[in-house]
């Protein structure tokens, strides 16, 4: 079958490789001038690693499993709130891994023959008829397809065209800063790795993950709000807010050059889409279910989508497409809708201040480690 994938992010390239390996005639249209992924690192959860296994694309992540770390939640000084045994959870459901986004993207797209990729091809419209879909870029058809997979990300143009009644994105109002740096010599961060620190005085969070043997990936969330300032100014503001945190936090912020700091306004879909499938067209990844980053599931869900759409279209012919994509929708929409809601709830809970946050911390401290670890494993299981 002729299948066009629109958008060459982490989700689009994985789907394109999966469908190509099933013998379909795949074209991958990307608006950017080249295939690349910028930014820092991404945490791929055990369920995301398993989805990459199904696509035959997990070598890169499996080669970099996270070392045995405790994980969980701590307060701003690093005192435990809800410490999980991440190593035990990973033994139960498989490894999670933090990897450089650029390197992961390079590894995922490597099996895709160059002639299947059309860069500098922004797709603005799809024109379906009874037998095929015309893919329109800059007012001219660039391909005709039996099926189209829309993977054009959180700001998806095509989602708005397919669902004109849908309210689209909701700006959450908070900013996320992320940075990556080589591990500073002499700074012991072992107890903070794979964990998140929360500050009930301000609602700010700070997360830290090891990337390979030698790098660290950190993010802060809910520390800043409103319009994103430049990286330099954002770092200055966060440093002043976190000056009395665990000493590793200001040290890591100071050691990261502004050029390696990314500032994003957090957004998510205002409500779940009514369907991920419209005739011969299916949506995948952030285009289908953009969620806040609180559960670290965005990329992992895009990989699950890519594996599912590949499986549903595996032996399909043009006449089967609409029915197969309906099955894809039935499999994927309930799970991703639950995670969208859970991410928003987590976001709300973790950014509380005052009495609610005090109560939250008291409850978290009372949860037994074994129960917390079981909960963590169940989130990663599906």
Residues binding ligand FAD (CB under 6 A): 6-12, 29-32, 42-43, 122-123, 151-154, 157, 176, 178, 264, 285-287, 293, 296-300, 302
Of 241, 295, 286, 243, nearest to 267 (Cα)? 286
* Nearest CB to ligand FAD, comparing residues 105 and 246: 105
Nearest distance in Å: CB 219, ligand FAD: 7
* Nearest CB to ligand FAD, comparing residues 123 and 361: 123
The rounded distance, in Å, linking the Cα atoms of 158 and 154 is 11
* Nearest CB to ligand FAD, comparing residues 234 and 361: 234
Cβ pair 239, 254 in contact under 8 A: yes
How many CA atoms, within 13 angstroms, populate the side-chain half-sphere of residue 156? 35
Nearest distance in Å: CB 175, ligand FAD: 9
Of 249, 239, 218, nearest to 77 (Cα)? 249
Nearest distance in Å: CB 32, ligand FAD: 5
Of 379, 347, 353, nearest to 176 (Cα)? 347
Nearest distance in Å: CB 303, ligand FAD: 8
* Cα 171 to Cα 118, 154, 225, 267, 318, distances in angstroms: 31, 12, 11, 4, 39
Nearest distance in Å: CB 299, ligand FAD: 3
* Nearest CB to ligand FAD, comparing residues 48 and 361: 48
Nearest distance in Å: CB 381, ligand FAD: 16
* Nearest CB to ligand FAD, comparing residues 11 and 195: 11
* Nearest CB to ligand FAD, comparing residues 82 and 126: 126
What six digits make up the tokens of 219?
């993010």
Taking the C-alpha atoms of 271, 335, 338 and 285 in order, what is their torsion angle to the nearest 10 degrees? Answer: -50
What six digits make up the tokens of 257?
């050059």
Pairing of strands 72-75, 195-198: parallel
Nearest distance in Å: CB 354, ligand FAD: 26
Calculate ∠ Cα 15-379-343, nearest 5°: 80
Nearest distance in Å: CB 302, ligand FAD: 4
Nearest distance in Å: CB 291, ligand FAD: 8
CB-based contacts of 253, cutoff 8 Å, min separation 6: 179, 218, 235, 238, 239, 242
Q: In this chain, which residue has its C-beta nearest to ligand FAD?
A: 9
Nearest distance in Å: CB 365, ligand FAD: 26
The rounded distance, in Å, linking the Cα atoms of 157 and 230 is 26
CB-based contacts of 265, cutoff 8 Å, min separation 6: 171, 172, 174, 175, 176, 227, 228
Structure-token match 């893919």, residue found? 135
Residue 91 Cα to chain centre, angstroms? 23
* Nearest CB to ligand FAD, comparing residues 32 and 78: 32
What six digits make up the tokens of 376?
């963590």
């Amino acid at each position: 079958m002729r299948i066009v994938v629109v958008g060459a992010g982490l989700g689009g390239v994985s789907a394109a490789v999966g469908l190509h390996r099933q013998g379909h005639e795949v074209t991958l249209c990307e608006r950017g001038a080249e295939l690349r992924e910028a930014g820092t690192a991404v945490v791929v959860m055990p369920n995301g690693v398993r989805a990459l296994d199904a696509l035959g694309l997990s070598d890169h992540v499996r080669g970099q499993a996270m070392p045995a770390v405790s994980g969980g939640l701590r307060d701003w000084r690093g005192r435990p709130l809800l410490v999980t045994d991440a190593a035990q959870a990973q033994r139960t459901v498989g490894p999670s891994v933090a990897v450089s986004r650029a390197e992961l993207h390079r590894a995922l797209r490597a099996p895709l023959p160059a002639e299947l990729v059309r860069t500098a091809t922004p797709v603005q419209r799809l024109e379906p008829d009874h037998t095929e879909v015309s893919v329109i870029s800059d007012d001219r058809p660039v391909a005709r397809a039996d099926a189209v997979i829309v993977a054009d990300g959180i700001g998806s143009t095509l989602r708005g065209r397919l669902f004109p009644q849908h309210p689209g994105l909701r700006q959450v109002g908070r900013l996320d800063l992320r940075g990556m740096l080589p591990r500073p010599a002499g700074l012991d961060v072992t107890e903070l790795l794979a964990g998140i620190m929360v500050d009930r005085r301000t609602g700010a969070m700070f997360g830290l993950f090891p990337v390979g043997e030698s790098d660290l990936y950190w993010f802060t969330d809910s520390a800043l709000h409103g319009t994103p300032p430049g990286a330099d100014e954002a770092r200055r503001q966060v440093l002043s807010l976190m000056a009395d945190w665990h000493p590793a936090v200001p040290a890591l912020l100071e050691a990261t050059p502004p050029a390696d700091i990314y500032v994003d306004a957090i957004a998510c879909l205002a409500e779940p889409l009514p369907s991920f499938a419209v005739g011969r067209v299916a949506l995948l990844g952030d285009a289908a279910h953009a969620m806040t980053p609180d559960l670290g599931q965005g990329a992992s869900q895009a990989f699950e989508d890519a594996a599912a759409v590949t499986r549903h279209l595996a032996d399909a012919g043009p006449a089967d497409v609409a029915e197969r994509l309906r099955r894809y929708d039935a499999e994927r929409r309930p799970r991703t809708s639950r995670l969208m809601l859970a991410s928003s709830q987590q976001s709300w809970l973790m950014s509380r201040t005052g009495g609610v946050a005090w109560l939250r911390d008291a409850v978290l401290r009372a949860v037994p480690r074994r129960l917390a670890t079981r909960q963590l494993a169940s989130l990663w299981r599906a």
